[in-house]
């Protein structure tokens, strides 16, 4: 992956009411990254969008972080 983290220019949203909560899916069409959150039905769409955007940006940032070395699992064996 490139070193430069992408900036969210566009986000696609889907709101699905399910019982007492709403499932919100957010997709960044540029990277193809998709996340979902569950929120209170009483919350405004703008509040749910804000939370979904924060999570989407977090996931994208995490994907573009420097790769970390995997722990050597054999060292933990008896």
Domain assignment present for residue 32? The answer is yes
Domain assignment present for residue 71? The answer is no
Q: What is the mean pLDDT of the chain?
A: 87
Domain assignment present for residue 4? The answer is no
pLDDT for 18 beyond 70: yes
Domain assignment present for residue 77? The answer is no
Under 8 Å between Cβ of 4 and 58: no
Indicate the burial class of 61 (C-beta count within 10 angstroms; 0-12, 13-18, 19 or more): exposed
Domain assignment present for residue 7? The answer is no
Domain assignment present for residue 60? The answer is yes
Q: Provide the number of structural domains found in the chain.
A: 1
Domain enclosing residue 51, as ranges:
12-66
Domain assignment present for residue 2? The answer is no
35-70 pLDDT per residue, tens: 999 999 999 999 999 999 999 999 999 988 866 666
Domain assignment present for residue 48? The answer is yes
Q: Model-level pTM?
A: 0.77
């Amino acid at each position: 992956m490139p070193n430069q983290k992408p900036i969210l220019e566009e986000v696609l949203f889907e709101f699905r009411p399910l019982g007492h909560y709403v499932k919100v899916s957010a997709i960044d069409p540029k990277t193809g990254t998709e996340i979902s959150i569950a929120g209170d039905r009483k919350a405004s769409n703008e509040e749910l969008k804000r939370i979904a955007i924060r999570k989407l940006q977090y996931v994208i940032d995490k994907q573009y972080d420097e790769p970390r070395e995997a722990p050597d699992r054999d060292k933990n064996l008896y």
